[in-house]
Amino acid sequence: MSLRCSSTLLALAAIAVCALGARGDERTDGVRAELLEQMRGLAGQTKLTISAGKMPDLVKNPVFRYDDQPRRFIDATMWLWTVQGRPVAFQKIEAVEYGDAKAPSSSWQCCFASASPDLLNVEWPGGRRFRTKEAGIEVRALAGAPSPAEGSLQRKRQGRELARKFSARIVTSPKNNTRQEMRLLTTPLVEFDDPDSKEYQGAVFAFSTNGTNPDVLLLLEIRSDGQSDKPRWHFAPVRMTCCEVRLAYVDTEVWQVDWVNGTEAPFPTWTFFSTARAPLAGEAQP
């Protein structure tokens, strides 16, 4: 058999395998597309107002999409609200699948967190409401950080370099004191510009525990230091987990939150809850 014939047969076999796999991919893609539309609908039904009178805007598309197999999240999205382009709130909407093919139990899990210096009022379908009791973030100057670079491109690069100098550790089981390093997602969830100058102003990064599921958000922002008009890099973490977390910049701990009991939600700046979800035909079981 000539080499040309062997190559042709291998190519035909590969096409056949791809064609068989494509049927499964089409089914999976259809489920993912339908889940995305359902999550988009849930995000759109979330009514958010700010006590200071500002009206936030929901970003049209999710800023991040992920899954989390250890927690049985088969698909999930992160949604963002902004005021003049600046982030003020985040919401995770997660499709959860428990059980097995014979006895599935499906739900939506929503996790909402404020990133606003003002108090927020949130309302979901069914009459569920949440009002934050304190500012969602505490913005602090990043000690030892270089002065902001000139130009948006250089500032973007600088922001990503600064993010990599942060590290986080999480306690996943206080009973067993089980700790692990969190993973920095080096690509920012969102970058935003100053509404007046249109120059790069900041970005939001995420630390995950399982896969790419964000448990802690890190806001890096260029703003006045409050004592002069000179701009400086500032940071503010946003919590989206019940677990204890320690955040460090270089070798210095700069933020920590203790373990909280999930049954005590809502919390002062964030909350989470579950609602029923009808599983889709062809939905993959974990």
Q: Residue 44 carries which side chain, given as an amino acid letter?
A: G
What local confidence, expressed as pLDDT, does residue 91 receive? 98
Nearest to 277 by CA among 32, 42, 26, 30: 42
Q: In the prediction, which pLDDT does 2 show?
A: 32
What DSSP letter does each residue of 152-173 carry, written as one string?
Answer: HHHHHHHHHHHHTTEEEEEEEE
83 closest CA partner among 159, 195, 180, 172: 195
- What lies within 8 Å, CB to CB, of 254 at 6+ separation is 140, 235, 247, 248
Quick one: pLDDT at residue 3? 35
Q: What's the whole-model pTM score?
A: 0.86
Task: State both tokens at 18.
Answer: 């791809």
CA distances from 9 to 1, 2, 21, 23 (A): 11, 11, 18, 22
Residue 158, φ and ψ in degrees, nearest 5: -65, -40
Residue 165 has pLDDT above 80, yes or no: yes
The percentage of the chain sitting over the pLDDT mark of 90, rounded to a whole number, equals 71
Residue 247 pLDDT level (bands cut at 50, 70, 90):
very high
Q: Can you point out the beta strands (E) in 86-149?
A: 86-98, 105-114, 120-123, 129-131, 140-141
Do 154 and 143 touch, CB atoms closer than 8 A? no
Q: Label residue 56 by pLDDT band (50, 70, 90).
A: very high
What's the length of the chain?
Answer: 286
* Radius of gyration of the CA atoms of the chain, in A: 22
pLDDT digits (tens, 9 = 90+) for 196-242: 899 999 999 999 998 899 999 999 999 987 666 789 999 999 999 99
User: How confident is the model at residue 100, as a pLDDT?
Assistant: 59
Burial letters 201-222, b for 16+ CB under 10 A, else e: bbbbbbbbbeeebbbbbbbbbb
Structural domain boundaries in the chain: 1-136+269-286, 138-261
d(C-alpha 32, C-alpha 118), whole Å: 35
Q: Is 38 helix (H, G, I), strand (E, B) or coil?
A: helix
Task: Determine which of 9-23, 27-41, 239-253 has the lowest per-residue pLDDT on average.
Answer: 9-23
Q: Which residues, 6 or more positions from 33, have their beta carbon under 8 angstroms from its beta carbon?
A: none
252-271: pLDDT as tens digits: 999 999 999 999 999 999 99
Q: Quick one: average pLDDT of 4-28? A: 42
Among 109, 99, 111, 105, smallest CA distance to 279 is for 105
> Looking at the predicted structure, is the pLDDT value of residue 21 above 80?
no
